[in-house]
Chains A and B, each alone.
Chain A
Amino acid sequence: MVGVQIRMVLVMKKYLAVLAASTMFVSVAQAQSIKIGLSGPFTGGSASMGVSMRDGVKLAVAEINKAGGVLGRQIQLVERDDEARNELGVQIAQELINKEQVVANLGYINTGVALASQRFYQEAEIPVINNVATGTLIAKQFLPPDNKANYIFRTSANDAIQSAMIVDEAITRRGFKAPAILADSTNYGQLGRADLVKALEAKGVKPVAEEKFNIGDTDMTAQLLRAKNANADVILTYGIGPELAQIANGMAKLGWKLPLIGSWTLSMATFIDNAGANGDGAEMPQTFVQIPTTPKRKAFIEAYQAAYKVDRFPSPVSAAQGYDSVYLLAAAITQAKSTDGRKIREALENLQTKVDGVVTVYDHPFSATDHEAITANIPVFGIVKGGRVEIAHPEDIAGDKALRVKAH
């Protein structure tokens, strides 16, 4: 018993010494720069989204640093590639929190990685702004009163918003009566399918077919024939680029073309390029389309193209949401006059300055109970046309409707 106590004291002493050393290190580091974590898949099937997000974030950080930084200090990004793997995301979160001691984290493309990793930030009371992942649960995982405070924020349109928009577009606006749902077998696809079914039910419509496919499937004949036999008049999708392209190509093969309406991933370059002409006409909710409809968007598009020497963004939505997440965080740190996680969170929940972003103008984007910056009125429908994403209904962005702000 005594031995145990002595050992405990020794361990405590060692721990305190490490703690003292690390706080000293931090105080030195802090005088130089503010460290912000940046995690996402920069390789792998989701890389086009991850890399666009990263590039958007880096662009904003470069602009802020050029203008003098935040609180007179430069922002330093600590980038980590999570490869869309949950377990790697967890490791990275622990490394960024304990070793790098970041003051906040930006990123996450994949809902699974976000859900697995963000709890470590929550426990360490360090804010996370999810700028791409769409799983409905993400910003609701640590709601008060079960938790003291929620440290997880989001700047993307969640799946509940997207599925309601998809159903609204298909049933109400375009008047289809017999939707078939094609979703992949991942969490993303199956949770999205459930959201779609729920949204259809609210309109009193039952899908005539609900079909599943696996990542890597190359033949969609069976799924499409089932939808065809059920006399579907529109196909609603929840999946990612390559398989969505196989659906479009499969319809062309069967000589049976139905309109495709689905989640925002229909704007992925892997869908557009691999489906070619077969993908024309596909519609999806977008928070940002690569069209200069406001001066801010024009400046952003030009700066991105110049910085990364591309014409078409690999994933415009990810780039814009990533870019905006940095400005929101910077505004919160400025307001908090501190890099303390708790103070940054409080500032985010009660942001006094309006942040003029690419997606929207953020006027009190978050509150203590609402951590979603995007509401259903902000995204518009994009449509694939000749290898690019255009606005599906130009009247949606006509005049002052180009800028859509959060409904409070």
Chain B
Amino acid sequence: MQILAQLIVSGIAVGMIYGVIAFGYQLTFATSKTLNFGQGEALMLGSLVGLTAVAYVGYWAMLPIVLVFGLMQGAVVERLGVRRAIETRSEAGWIMATIALGIIFKNLAENIWGRDALKFPSPLPEAPIGFMGVNVLPMEIAIVVGALGLMLSIELFNRRSIYGKAVVATANDRDAAGLMGIDTSLAISFSYALSSMTAAFAGVLVAPVTLTGASMGGALGLKAFAVAIIGGLSSGMGVVVGGLILGVTETLTGYYISTGYKDVPGLVLLLLVLSFKPSGLFGKAAIKKV
């Protein structure tokens, strides 16, 4: 029982990492039906910029720097990789463009920060907290709280503020939103900026646990993509639940079946979801009018 609880707790911590990255995919998909395949690299850049900033300004002052950096990085990705593709209604141009930008960012990071894994300072004590025989790192709790907090505030912003409403309107119907006087291309830029900001914040949040480094984005970005498919790209709640499902399945399979097959059930689940509910567990089935 204690072991099961420990596995679930660890799975939740890992799953939340996937979830918060997947949330970034969901943000841009909602407005523009495009994704930033360099989302993992946005996470990596955020955490490396954070690592450099921590050395100069300390942990807490680093956070706003990383958030602003993420916003700008996302806007750059949208401007260089996505906008032309949307304007020309290219079906796949943005896929290659965002992947290419991701590779460029990775090479850039390798040249600046090297290619070794680096330790990220933890703002919280690194000793585990025991609770009824289950151990958890304070930083893991911070990941769960921080990720949920960030996602809630973005949801609130989208629902309450006038700017957020513009984003939601664009997501619901881009043409109608345009007719109402909303600058939809700005709304899309903004959603990319928000998406990279989430990723950058996730980067500094998870780095004390996962280590940081130029190659950290690849594996995490891919897992998060699977999570976004499982949970449904159109639902913010879905990606969180999807992340938790994948994280917990991984640790449970690793323990009860074999650590050699740890990644298999998550992928099987992905295939099942794609076969039976292609829009994801929580996704709204979209009717595409042609």
Contacts and interface: CB of A to CB of B under 8 A. Distances in A.
Contacts of A219: 10, 13-14, 250-251
Interface in B108-135: 110, 114-119, 126-128, 130, 135
A185 B116 CA distance: 19
Contacts of A214: 219, 262-263
A255 B211 contact: no
Interface of B: 3, 6-7, 10, 13-14, 17, 110, 114-119, 126-128, 130, 135-137, 209-211, 213, 215-216, 218-219, 250-255, 258-260, 262-263
Contacts of B219: 214, 216
Which of A212, A242, A253, A274 has the most CB atoms of chain B within a 10 A radius of its CB? Answer: A253
A30 to B, nearest CB: 36
A276 B119 contact: yes
Contact of B110 (A43, A212, A213, A221): A43
Contacts of A286: none
Contact of A218 (B209, B215, B254, B260): B209
A245 interface: yes
Contacts of A245: 117, 211
13 contacts: A45-B117, A47-B114, A214-B219, A218-B14, A218-B209, A222-B10, A222-B250, A222-B259, A226-B254, A226-B259, A254-B128, A255-B135, A274-B117
Contact of B116 (A47, A225, A254, A255): A47
A213 B127 CA distance: 24
Interface in A255-314: 255, 269-270, 273-274, 276
B117 A242 contact: yes
A269 B116 contact: yes
A246 B6 CA distance: 17
A399 to B, nearest CB: 38
A69 to B, nearest CB: 34
Given A218-B209, A222-B251, A253 B218 contact: no
Given A218-B14, A221-B251, A252 B128 contact: yes
Interchain residue pairs A-B with the least CB separation, the first 4:
A222-B254, A242-B117, A221-B10, A216-B219
Nearest to A245: B211
Given A43-B110, A47-B115, A216-B219, A225 B259 contact: no
A30 B264 CA distance: 57
Contacts of B130: 255
A275 to B, nearest CB: 9
A211 to B, nearest CB: 5
A175 interface: no
Interface residues of A, number: 32
B211 A218 contact: yes
B16 to A, nearest CB: 12
B48 to A, nearest CB: 15
Contacts of A216: 215-216, 218-219
A141 interface: no
A273 B119 contact: yes
A253 B137 contact: yes
A48 interface: yes
Contacts of A72: none
Contact of B259 (A211, A218, A253, A255): A211
B254 A242 contact: no
A394 interface: no
A44 interface: yes
Given A212-B260, A226-B255, A45 B215 contact: yes
Contacts of A246: 211
B260 A185 contact: yes
Contacts of A45: 115-117, 215
B211 A242 contact: yes
B34 to A, nearest CB: 26
B7 A225 contact: yes
B251 A274 contact: no
A48 B114 CA distance: 10
B209 A225 contact: no
B211 A274 contact: yes
Given A185-B260, A212-B260, A245-B117, 6 more contacts: A218-B211, A222-B259, A222-B262, A225-B255, A241-B116, A255-B128
A48 B116 contact: yes
